[in-house]
């Protein structure tokens, strides 16, 4: 793969993160395998910086983890001695960083394997597409740790799996497999061991081939429309639809399709 080291605003990422640019695709890797990619303050700040200053030519991002796990969640050693005020500020930093994934400039494909636990699951939930290898497992062990989710899990996860299921995961420590995640809404694509990154990159390239305006509408408008009252949602949908189809690139693609220069949709 032809790539170059990714930098954000001229500043290198922390050693616990590694990134490459390959054409229109950026690949961000959690690079703290010796700690099961547990997320500490430096990693979260690096994620914030990376997604806040993506190179202009990047049109999709693949997010993955080095070693045997995607992420085992929050580095609990950072909780020692933190008071309420510091805890609120810490949670806010996670919220800001993960917001730049969910509502950032480009779509994000998360590639999951091994532990996708606690804050690691909160991070994965901020992505737009999740590719899980069969080794992946999901858990929210906060209840047994005497803590509570703080990286946006209360907001994002109930929209994926429902309040009751999330409550059960937190109260009992229940763990779900990648296969079970497929029926729950956590896993979007299920692949065999070792195939996740290649599948994630292939999906990111397909996503990067869409018009930027359409991807923006899907990321920014769709989740907000889904939360609107129906009348407001229909009105917003009409507005976004008219804006997207008026884009010159969209007009060119429609013309290619009508003049039989573009492929039709077929079953893969």
Catalytic residues: 122, 142
Q: How far apart are CA 71 and CA 6, in angstroms?
A: 21
**For 268, which DSSP code?**
-
Candidates 148, 13, 19, 18; CA nearest to 73 is 148
Q: How far apart are CA 8 and CA 22, in angstroms?
A: 16
Q: How far apart are CA 55 and CA 60, in angstroms?
A: 11
Spatial CB neighbours of 177, under 8 Å, sequence gap ≥ 6: 134, 136, 137, 138
Query: Rg for the chain (alpha carbons), in Å?
Result: 19
In the chain, at which residue ranges do the beta strands (DSSP E only) sit?
Answer: 4-5, 17-22, 25-30, 60-65, 108-112, 115-117, 129-133, 137-139, 176-177, 189-191
**For 33, which DSSP code?**
G
In the chain, the N- to C-terminal Cα span, in Å, equals: 26
Q: With contact defined as beta carbons under 8 Å apart, do 193 and 136 qualify?
A: no
**For 39, which DSSP code?**
B
Cα distances from 47 to residues 41, 60, 220, 221, 233, in angstroms, run: 10, 15, 20, 23, 32
């Amino acid at each position: 793969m032809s790539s170059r080291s990714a930098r954000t605003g001229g500043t290198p990422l922390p050693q616990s993160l590694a990134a490459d640019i390959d054409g229109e695709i950026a690949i961000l890797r959690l690079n703290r395998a010796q700690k099961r990619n547990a997320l500490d303050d430096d990693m979260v700040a690096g994620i914030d910086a990376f997604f806040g200053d993506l190179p202009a030519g990047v049109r999709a991002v693949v997010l993955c983890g080095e070693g045997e796990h995607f992420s085992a969640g929050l580095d609990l050693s950072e909780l020692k001695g933190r008071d309420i005020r510091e805890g609120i500020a810490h949670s806010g930093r996670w919220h800001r960083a993960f917001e730049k994934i969910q509502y950032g400039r480009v779509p994000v494909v998360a590639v999951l394997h091994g532990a996708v636990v606690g804050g690691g699951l909160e991070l994965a939930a901020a992505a737009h597409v999740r590719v899980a290898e069969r080794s992946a497992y999901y858990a929210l062990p906060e209840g047994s740790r005497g803590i509570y989710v703080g990286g946006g899990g209360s907001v994002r996860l109930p929209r994926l799996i429902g309040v009751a299921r999330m409550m059960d995961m937190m109260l009992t420590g229940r763990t779900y497999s990648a296969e079970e995640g497929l029926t729950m809404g956590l896993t979007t694509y299920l692949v065999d061991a070792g195939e996740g990154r290649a599948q994630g990159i292939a999906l990111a390239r397909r996503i990067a081939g869409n018009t930027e305006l359409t991807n923006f509408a899907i990321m920014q408008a769709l989740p907000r429309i889904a939360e609107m009252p129906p009348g407001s949602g229909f009105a917003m949908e009409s507005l976004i639809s008219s804006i997207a189809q008026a884009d010159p690139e969209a007009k060119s693609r429609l013309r290619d399709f009508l003049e039989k220069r573009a492929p039709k949709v077929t079953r893969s």
